[in-house]
């Protein structure tokens, strides 16, 4: 069973903004509280690679203006920052100091956020395990590659954090850590200044305590009307009969069943859907495209610093070198064909509902987990939300994943909020349903 820890205490960013509205003194206090939580949690959780100076952050929070005024935010260490060392999770870039901020970091600052530090990432946002521990249970992984960002929110260090997803690097850590994670439509948020792994898939990911919070952050950064409300009446969710990738564990399957019952009790509807054979073809297509692009994107590091790469990444790039242009082009055609057929999956349903990961977080830090339930949706560019609130038989969080068609981000967030509220209502009646 899960070992209880006091480090798991995610904070609502929307609630903090309401507390600090038009009150510079309160913004300063919120920042001081963030640094106090860093001091308490960081030695055990190990979510951060760099932390700013307290007095500078407090002064910035007091003076901040905008929709994120004074909010402490942590940024995954694959985004360039002019005032923090950016290592991309690799010793190759020890002490590397960019001259400018990534575009996403600039958006945060323009909207009043205060960057309190950088968060741990798997090496170049691939799959190598990290030192970060799960705030829900320090003996388990926080996932990856956005391990530090998810853990920083779950531990209450910050109300908002930035990550990324190329396979499952936002949804899976959010599931493991029991918080909301949002992978928006591919291309909605800028990746300029983010270390590239695969330009066809790399997507900015957002973390917050709950769906309302992550939707608000997405709205601010995108300029689109994404904030959720209570207007969603009876959405229809499609639940797959089976999966062309790894089947969920019995544990994850039971959690999904609990979510389905909660949705139906709240007035939503659920219908079964079937994945066509073309969904199976996309699994290999994702692998081929990612390998081909990573071989080029990390060409400098491989050619000049191979000895400094982890065995996992070096081996991946060794194999990636064998992917030829013809295979890559064929995989890209399959990707575009898949995108053209997406409407089939959403015929008669508002959103799809699946487990966010095959199971609870793994024991130990030897693996970041399996992204099988996320890769196809990343390839297809779909918006996805991890909905927190449920736990597995071993006591760890397991999220359910809400998926919509590209550019239906608000519908995706709205449907996710419906699921979150339904789960909370069921748990209030029957705490064992958690």
Which position among 90, 118, 122, 145 bears the catalytic label?
145
Order of strands, edge to edge, in the sheet holding 160-165? 48-51, 114-119, 72-76, 160-165, 203-208, 180-183, 384-387, 400-403, 351-355, 236-240, 269-273
Q: Nearest Cα to 202, choosing from 210, 211, 192?
A: 192
Question: Any idea how long the chain is?
Answer: 434
Tokens standing for residue 101: 């901020």
Q: How far apart are CA 187 and CA 193, in angstroms?
A: 14
Which position among 76, 118, 183, 195 bears the catalytic label?
76
Which position among 122, 146, 147, 169 bears the catalytic label?
169
169 catalytic per annotation: yes
Q: How far apart are CA 402 and CA 268, in angstroms?
A: 14
Q: How far apart are CA 199 and CA 289, in angstroms?
A: 9
- Which residues, 6+ apart, have CB-to-CB distance to 295 below 8 Å? 302, 317, 320, 321, 323
Q: How many angstroms separate the Cα of 189 from the Cα of each of 91, 114, 163, 224?
A: 28, 19, 12, 11
In degrees, rounded to 5, the angle at the alpha carbon of residue 174 between the alpha carbons of residues 170 and 175 is: 120
In degrees, rounded to 5, the angle at the alpha carbon of residue 326 between the alpha carbons of residues 323 and 328 is: 55
The secondary structure element, H or E, covering residue 238 is strand 236-240
Handedness of CA 28, 34, 37, 38 (dihedral sign): negative
145 catalytic per annotation: yes
Q: Which residues are catalytic?
A: 76, 145, 169
């Amino acid at each position: 069973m899960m070992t209880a820890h006091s480090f798991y205490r995610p904070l609502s960013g929307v609630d903090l903004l309401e507390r600090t509205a038009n009150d510079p003194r309160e913004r300063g206090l919120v920042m001081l509280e963030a640094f106090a939580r860093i001091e308490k949690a960081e030695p055990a959780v190990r979510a951060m690679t760099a932390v700013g100076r307290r007095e500078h952050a407090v002064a910035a929070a007091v003076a901040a203006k905008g929709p994120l005024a004074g909010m402490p935010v942590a940024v995954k260490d694959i985004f360039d920052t002019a005032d923090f060392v950016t290592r991309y999770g690799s010793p190759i870039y020890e002490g590397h100091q960019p001259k400018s901020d990534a575009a996403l970091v600039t958006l945060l600052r323009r909207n009043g956020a205060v960057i309190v530090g950088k968060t741990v990432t798997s090496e170049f946002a691939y799959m190598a395990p990290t030192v970060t521990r799960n705030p829900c249970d320090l003996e388990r992984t926080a996932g990856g590659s956005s391990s530090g960002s998810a853990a920083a929110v779950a531990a209450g260090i910050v109300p908002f954090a930035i990550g990324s997803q190329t396979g499952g690097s936002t949804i899976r850590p959010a599931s493991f850590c029991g918080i909301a994670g949002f992978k928006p439509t591919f291309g909605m948020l800028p990746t300029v200044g983010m270390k590239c792994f695969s330009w066809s898939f790399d997507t900015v990911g957002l973390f917050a305590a709950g769906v309302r919070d992550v939707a608000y952050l997405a709205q601010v950064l995108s300029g689109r009307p994404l904030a959720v409300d209570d207007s969603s009446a009876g959405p229809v969710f499609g639940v797959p009969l089976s999966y062309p990738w790894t089947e969920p564990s019995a544990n994850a399957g039971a959690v999904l069943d609990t979510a389905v019952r909660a949705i139906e009790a709240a007035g939503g509807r659920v219908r079964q859907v079937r994945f066509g054979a073309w969904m199976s073809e996309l699994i290999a297509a994702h692998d081929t495209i990612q390998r081909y692009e990573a071989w080029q994107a990390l060409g400098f590091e491989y050619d000049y610093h191979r000895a400094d790469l982890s065995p996992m990444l070096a081996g991946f790039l060794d194999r990636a070198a064998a992917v030829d242009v013809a295979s890559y082009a064929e995989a890209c055609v399959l990707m575009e064909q898949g995108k053209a057929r997406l409407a089939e999956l959403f015929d008669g349903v508002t959103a799809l509902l699946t487990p966010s990961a095959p199971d609870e977080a793994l024991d130990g830090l030897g693996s970041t987990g399996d992204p099988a339930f996320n890769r196809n949706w990343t390839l297809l560019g779909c918006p996805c939300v991890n909905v927190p609130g449920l736990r597995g038989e071993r006591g760890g969080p397991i999220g359910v994943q809400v998926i919509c068609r590209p550019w239906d981000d608000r519908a995706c967030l709205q449907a996710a909020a419906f699921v979150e509220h339904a789960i909370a209502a069921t748990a209030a009646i029957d705490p064992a349903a958690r």
